[in-house]
Chain A
Amino acid sequence: MLTKDLVAASSKPLVLSILAGGESYGYEILQKIRDLSGGHIEWSDGMLYPVLHRLEREGLIKSEWREAESGRDRKYYFLSQEGTKALKAERHQWLAVHNTLSKLWQLKPVST
């Protein structure tokens, strides 16, 4: 389980990265994070929405209410141009941390 601080810090790159793979809605984003992290990153469901709304206010993502094929309407989020740029910067920073720790722990580094 991640600490509260790390959950807060990692929410931005996680959400942006998921949306970089295509538009999505809150429930689906949570599921993806749960699956990909193998259950190690578990957000409380309601806490994702404030994160999404903050990113939207910052102009990194946009949203739109739309009806899904199932007939259920959902609020879809997608990446803006600025969001794509922000993701690049985030990626750079996180990989720097990752590579440093990897070297210290003598794991195989990941290329940037």
Chain B
Amino acid sequence: MAGSPQHLIKIMATQTRFDLNAAIENWRNELSAQSQLTPDNRRELEKHLADAMAELRQRGLNEEEAFWLARRRIGQPQQLAEEFQKADPTKVWRERAFWMELAILFFLLWQRMVGSIAFHDEWFSFHYQSFIYLFLISLMPIGLAILLAKGKLNYPLLGRAFKNRWLFASSIIVILLLTDVLQTWGTGMSWLNQIRSFSFPLMLIAVAAWLMPKQERQKAA
């Protein structure tokens, strides 16, 4: 029966079926391509699209129609980005600086942690220490690259991880203290050196907490 008209119609029907998730993903990618739009901006626009689509669906439009109309009403991503940029020219750089600070901070913490594990004389013999250090230290950028490539590292995920700046700052300070305990275990480091080794990460934490973009909070009762 292959090649009969009925069969043909079936194929066409399945091929042209609208995939909402793919369409939204596509739109998201178009927005991400606009460097002037911050993750916060994109999230706000996404919520808007969802609201607009829900209303159009209620009015009887099908999924595909609702998506295209809602998308059209929001506007062209490029034009949108230009308007957003005009409204707050420094915001993009504030947010970029935040992510850079965060990356440096995490690398620093990782380095301290790895250093204290790899150079532990009782755990590893002297000959292997530098190899273990190199191996462990390279895990972080490789791991980050894999997460980024797979799209697992996204803004909502990080947003949930740091609900507010005080929680963010205090949890990182705790990690910092832990790495410090590991590092100075029994070495009798002087308090002056302690402060010195703390000052740079503490400054990074303060700047990152200050630059941190607004996060979602639970609705107050």
Given A44-B75, A46-B80, 14 more A-B residue pairs with CB atoms under 8 Å apart are A25-B47, A44-B73, A45-B74, A46-B45, A46-B48, A46-B83, A63-B214, A65-B214, A65-B217, A68-B219, A72-B47, A73-B47, A74-B47, A75-B44
B116 to chain A, nearest CB (A): 37
Q: Using Cβ atoms and an 8 Å threshold, which residues of chain B touch A94?
A: none
In the complex, the chain B residue whose C-beta lies closest to that of A42 is B73
Task: Give how many A-B residue pairs fall within 8 Å (CB-CB).
Answer: 76
**Which B residues contact A (CB, under 8 angstroms)?**
40-41, 43-45, 47-48, 50-52, 73-75, 79-80, 83-84, 86-88, 91, 214-219
From residue 44 to 99 of chain A, which have CB atoms closer than 8 A to chain B? 44-47, 49-51, 53-54, 56-57, 63-69, 72-75
Q: Is the interface of B mostly helix, strand, loop or mixed?
A: helix
Given contacts A45-B73, A45-B75, contact A66 B216 (CB under 8 A): yes
CA distance A73 to B79 in the complex (A): 26
Given contacts A26-B48, A50-B87, contact A67 B219 (CB under 8 A): yes
B97 to chain A, nearest CB (A): 17
Q: Using Cβ atoms and an 8 Å threshold, which residues of chain A touch B214?
A: 63-65
- Contact yes or no, B44 A49, CB < 8 A: yes
Listed by A's residue number, 22 A-B pairs whose Cβ atoms lie within 8 Å are A27-B47, A27-B51, A45-B48, A45-B73, A45-B75, A49-B44, A49-B84, A49-B87, A50-B83, A50-B84, A51-B87, A54-B88, A57-B87, A64-B217, A65-B215, A66-B218, A66-B219, A67-B216, A67-B218, A67-B219, A73-B47, A75-B44
